[in-house]
Structure 1
Amino acid sequence: MNQNITTAELEGFEKGFAADPAKRVAQLAVTANGVNKSATDPLVQREDRHQFSIQLEAGKITNQKSSGRCWMFAALNTMRVEIMKKLNLETFELSQNYTLFYDKLEKANYFLESILDTLDEPTDGRLIAHLLSAPLNDGGQWDMLCNLIEKYGVVPKDTMPETACSSSTWEVTGYMTRKLREFACALREGHAAGKTVDQLREQKEAMLSDIYNMLCIALGNPPKTFTFETRDKDKKFIREEGLTGKSFFEKYIGWDMSSYVSLINAPTAGKPYHKTFTVKLLGNIVEGRPVKYLNLPIEDLKAAAIRQMQDGKPVWFGCDVGKCSIREGGIMDLNILRPDALFGTGFGMTKAQRLDYGDSLMTHAMVFQGVNLDESGKPTRWRVENSWGKDSGADGYYVMSDEWFSEYTYQVVVHKDYLTEEQRAELQQAPIELEPWDPMGSLA
């Protein structure tokens, strides 16, 4: 067989294309409208109705705009329900800018500490290249959010509102990333010149001061104390003075964050079910809890999510949102897009194969706010609260088919109360460590 593409092969390809009228029709459609518009099957939308046998009440749709804070928005959207219930509010929103500020600051410190922990690794090695690739990513994991809440609490959105840079993070994140790489260079060169780790940590304090100043300029100064004011559904005015982020969280949300656990579905050979996992060098707060997952069959994730929603509580989850989904109407369904029919070729990898070969991973976090159960109690479709504003999906909501859940949902977070006894016991296992570049270390 030939190693190169020959003229004869090209002629054969051309004749094969010309001999199939369907390919010419597809060409006309795609060149004029693009792939996804041409591949959308409108008949599927009839089946994906925005009607659910279990449907929770939620506040107004939020909008992360041009930022990668979906994991924060999703988590804060689950928490705000507690405040709305306690205070009889129509809607409420927590400050995503406040958590962003401290996440960036803590991630900067985590990155610099990771550099100090790897001073003897080669600069051109895979580990240092991984650390330098995105030291200040917008994304995150549930356990990273727990670390922020436990250390800093939360504040109402009007206490630390959005800024141009929180709504569009790429500029300031880009400049801080440049500084962190510069700092990494200085620390590693200092080590090569014979400086001790204690001396390098003295340098680190000045480095963090620079990052803090950049964050204040871009996001504003985070409040130490604040006055909380709102009005409930009955027009009753509520005011409380002298609150901190931690005291506000404790009084109005009051969750034990350690009781919320991450269940994943990673059906790959190296990740057996009913075992726990963590990811090396993945985190945001050095003294915080590490990321920890319990890997379970997909039906176990569904069952736990349903039990929590049956109790009136929404569910944070992570998925690969870009696969088989459309924004118009908010549909996530394996058949909503038919590129196989359009291109005349199938896309046949399994979920495990997609993970192993880099075709899929968790890219986005959202909130389950409902599910439709058939007469036998089996889920058929899921109600999804997104954070892309009300103009995306159906007034900000998406509908996910149960088959889509199986293929592209990777993580759900539930309270331990909604696990089985066996699952709670499995959580006590020491986690197996995954490499930093493992797909289960992806950030939503």
Structure 2
Amino acid sequence: MASTSMNSAFDPASPAASLTEGTLDELTAAFDAREANRIAMNAVVNAGIDDVARNYDRARRLQRRFSVTVDNGDVTNQRRSGRCWLFSSLNVARFIAKKNLGIKSFEFSQNYAMFFDKLERANYFLQDMRALALAGEPNDSRLVQALLHDVMGDGGQWTMALNIYKKYGAVPKDFYPETASSQNTSQMNTMLRSLLRQAVCRMFETVDATSGADEAAQRTADIAKDALAAAHRVLTIHLGEPPRSFEWEWTDDDGQFHRAGTMTPQQFWHTYVDAGLEDYVCLVDDPREEHPKGVKIGIEHLGNVVGGDPTEYLNVPVQFMKDCVRRILSEQGIPVWFGADCHPMMDRKNGAWATDLFEYGRVYDTTFDMDKQERVRFADSAMNHAMAFVGVDVADDGMSTNRWRVENSWGADIADKGYFTMDDPWFDQYVYEVAVPRTMLPAEYQAALAKPAIMLPEWDPMGALA
């Protein structure tokens, strides 16, 4: 009853709710009455908001020196694609491969990983939607519409990346190089989306028109099979045919020539990237108070490989995440994959993140004061980019941290040859996920991993893909 009363009390079409000429006059007069507004307008119109709001004192004090640094060589470049999660996970893997091969320069084929992720994800989507159609889910339900809207993006998660590497392995970049479509995925993705949505349309039409359950199951299976074959053709035409095997030989940094003979991608992965990465778990900081720490959470309908590992996380305090990353960098000397909301307070050109790097509130004469929980709850922040930690500046106490060095995948023409610097408080506010060895977790967290996950709906912000 209270909700009805509120709705009846407010009519957005009423004169009281409309933006009148008088209201506009008041807003304009208020703007003109403050001289600083005109100064800000002149500055931002000509220079852009970031150049005007950039905190000069903060920017010059953000140092690029670190007490612990992991050298991973030249940065990679994902170009105009959303493959950061594949680039960053393969950047972790290539660090291990380079050590095992005795070379300083090496890169995996991100195109190869994307081909099989796209193919597997098409199959995952088709089977998921087929099950929903056969179960009688309305085609206009929030779930079906959300799945249709999100289909065949480039983003992903650590667990999804490992699903691909464990099943299909990996190849050196020379054996499956980049293509026009791998570097700019928009047209390929548009065609795949149309193809898959058409298949879903036919599935729902078939279920509606078929009286027998067995017949509906068979006919929808045929639709899914045909659509998967078409998706494979589209991917092969855009990305090339991936290698099933290759002749592997290399010269190490000591000048020693090696010939390993014919290898499959799976053999290459298991030979030169040890199985440790396959035992990693994902930690997240879900700041919403209704989701307790120390509990495993999952996202419904989120995955890429049918029968692969589910996309699940252990919700932990952000300080525990930071402690794990610091220990891995300091004790093991291995890069650490992570996911963050990369856009707030970012100086892309200079490669810097700090919570006070831009003084937007002073320019606009307003406040931006939502905390992390509020930003997640009201759609102002979610994970959207994956990278790798490759350095940390540890304070003299050996525990607290001052700043972090980040290997990005946006090329070497920005930042410190592509490497970014993150101020420690920015980690607290905008980092959401890290992948760490399961063995690092205390007993209570190990026990939590063995319990069923609390499942969140497909559209929950914790299901955002990097």
Q: TM-score w.r.t. structure 1 length?
A: 0.98
What CA distance in whole angstroms lies between the structure 2 residues aligned with 1:244 and 1:169?
27
1:291-306 to structure 2, matched below 5 A, reads 291-306=311-326
Corresponding residue of 1:72 = 86
What secondary structure, in the 3-state scheme, does the structure 2 residue paired with 1:277 have?
strand
What CA distance in whole angstroms lies between the structure 1 residues aligned with 2:44 and 2:173?
43
What CA distance in whole angstroms lies between the structure 2 residues aligned with 1:33 and 1:355?
31
Alignment partner of 1:332 is 2:353:
yes
Corresponding residue of 1:410 = 432
Q: Offset of 1:91 from its aligned partner?
A: 1.5
| Native 8 Å contact 1:114 1:281 kept in 2 | yes
Corresponding residue of 1:22 = 36
Cα 1:18/1:306, change in 2 over 3 Å: same
Which shows bigger deviation, 212-221 or 252-261?
252-261
1:32-111 to structure 2, matched below 5 A, reads 32-111=46-125
| Native 8 Å contact 1:334 1:403 kept in 2 | yes
Alignment partner of 1:123 is 2:139:
yes
What CA distance in whole angstroms lies between the structure 2 residues aligned with 1:257 and 1:79?
8
Deviations 1:192-221 (A, max 9, x none): 121421332123212111111111111011
1:362 to 370, 373, 383: 383
Q: Offset of 1:258 from its aligned partner?
A: 4.1
1:430 to 452, 458, 464: 452
Q: Offset of 1:417 from its aligned partner?
A: 2.5
What CA distance in whole angstroms lies between the structure 2 residues aligned with 1:246 and 1:209?
23
1:68-217 to structure 2, matched below 5 A, reads 68-119=82-133, 120-194=136-210, 195-217=215-237
Deviations 1:300-350 (A, max 9, x none): 110011111112111000000011101121011111111111101010111
The answer for unaligned runs of 5 or more in structure 2 is 1-14
What CA distance in whole angstroms lies between the structure 2 residues aligned with 1:349 and 1:122?
37
Corresponding residue of 2:281 = 261
Alignment partner of 1:309 is 2:329:
yes
What secondary structure, in the 3-state scheme, does the structure 2 residue paired with 1:307 have?
helix
Q: TM-score w.r.t. structure 2 length?
A: 0.93
What CA distance in whole angstroms lies between the structure 2 residues aligned with 1:169 and 1:93?
20
Q: 1:262 is matched by which residue type in structure 2?
A: C
| Native 8 Å contact 1:355 1:361 kept in 2 | yes
What CA distance in whole angstroms lies between the structure 2 residues aligned with 1:53 and 1:420?
26
Corresponding residue of 1:240 = 260
What secondary structure, in the 3-state scheme, does the structure 1 residue paired with 2:269 have?
helix
Q: 1:130 is matched by which residue type in structure 2?
A: A
Corresponding residue of 2:406 = 384
| Native 8 Å contact 2:202 2:223 kept in 1 | no
| Native 8 Å contact 2:276 2:437 kept in 1 | no
Deviations 1:122-147 (A, max 9, x none): 12211111111021110001111111
Deviations 1:83-127 (A, max 9, x none): 111121112100100000000000100110111111111122111
Deviations 1:342-390 (A, max 9, x none): 1010101110111110000000000000100111231010000000000
Which shows bigger deviation, 407-416 or 247-256?
247-256
Runs of at least 4 residues off by over 4 Å: none
Q: Offset of 1:50 from its aligned partner?
A: 1.2
Deviations 1:24-73 (A, max 9, x none): 11000111112122211222122221110010110211000000000000
What secondary structure, in the 3-state scheme, does the structure 2 residue paired with 1:118 have?
helix
- Aligned-residue Cα RMSD (Å) equals 1.3
| Native 8 Å contact 1:318 1:409 kept in 2 | yes
| Native 8 Å contact 2:353 2:422 kept in 1 | yes
Q: 1:431 is matched by which residue type in structure 2?
A: A
| Native 8 Å contact 1:156 1:228 kept in 2 | no
Q: Offset of 1:422 from its aligned partner?
A: 2.8
What CA distance in whole angstroms lies between the structure 2 residues aligned with 1:7 and 1:169?
46
Q: Offset of 1:256 from its aligned partner?
A: 4.1
What CA distance in whole angstroms lies between the structure 2 residues aligned with 1:257 and 1:285?
18
| Native 8 Å contact 1:369 1:384 kept in 2 | yes
What secondary structure, in the 3-state scheme, does the structure 1 residue paired with 2:303 have?
coil
Which shows bigger deviation, 67-76 or 270-279?
270-279
| Native 8 Å contact 1:279 1:434 kept in 2 | yes
Alignment partner of 1:250 is 2:250:
no
Corresponding residue of 1:397 = 419
What CA distance in whole angstroms lies between the structure 2 residues aligned with 1:28 and 1:216?
51
What CA distance in whole angstroms lies between the structure 1 residues aligned with 2:102 and 2:402?
32
What secondary structure, in the 3-state scheme, does the structure 1 residue paired with 2:338 have?
strand
Alignment partner of 1:346 is 2:360:
no
Q: 1:339 is matched by which residue type in structure 2?
A: Y
What CA distance in whole angstroms lies between the structure 1 residues aligned with 2:380 and 2:56?
26
